[in-house]
Amino acid sequence: MLTLITAPAAEPVTLTEAKLHARIEHPDDDTLVTALIAAAREQVEHETGRRLINQTWEQVLPAFADSMDLDTGPVSSITSVKYLDSDGAEQTLASTVYSLISESLPPRLVLNSGQSWPATYTSDNAVRIRFVAGYGADSTAVPQAIRAWMMVRIASLYAQREEHASGLTEMPGRFIDGLLDPYRIHHVG
């Protein structure tokens, strides 16, 4: 199970950028456009399995494994690995026991050579891995193709908001959605 602990502090597209792209010259719909920016980010994150702006997540597992896939990425750091010991007491695992393989898709946590995982209490939530996922603290590290997809999505949702509500209009086609293809994380198994 994956749980958001700390939401991103910013969005990958600013209100100014979205309004410029959508050719909105008045402040009347700023609240709506701000909501559309967040919705577009959430859709990208859902479609790709990646987080855009740094945010803290916690993944819960029933036990340690030789290699543990993290269900989102990119992962820049592991904040903590906590577990329930054989008596059910929460412990924090030393960071010298494991390593983050951030380059793999999906990113994963692995046991370091010469180390062993501690015994855990039998529980569905025996292991808690807390980590930071995202391209960076602001939009500068987010791939431009993703930002372009977001701006098209935001402008389309804004321009056709009534039609979308009634389901009469189709969103931008395969070319635009294809901008996300290189960033999709495909889980195996």
Q: What percent of the chain has pLDDT over 90?
A: 75
Instruction: State yes or no: pLDDT of 172 exceeds 70.
Output: no
Report the pLDDT value the prediction gives residue 159, as an integer from 0 to 100. Answer: 87
**184 pLDDT above the threshold of 90:** no
**What is the distance between the alpha carbons of residues 60 and 83, in angstroms, rounded to a whole number?**
10
Report how far residue 87's alpha carbon sits from residue 84's, in angstroms, rounded to the nearest whole number: 7
Residue intervals of the chain classified under CATH 1.10.3230 are 12-52+139-182
**Cβ distance 66 to 111 under 8 Å?**
yes
Task: Name the pLDDT band for 177 (thresholds 50, 70, 90).
Answer: low
pTM: 0.82
Average predicted confidence (pLDDT) for the chain: 89
Q: What is the CATH number of domain 12-52+139-182?
A: 1.10.3230
For 123-158, give one letter per residue: b (16+ CB within 10 A) or e: eeebbbbbbbbbbeebbeebbeebbebbbbbbbbbb
- Residue 179's alpha-carbon distances to 140, 148, 149, 171, in angstroms, are 18, 8, 6, 14
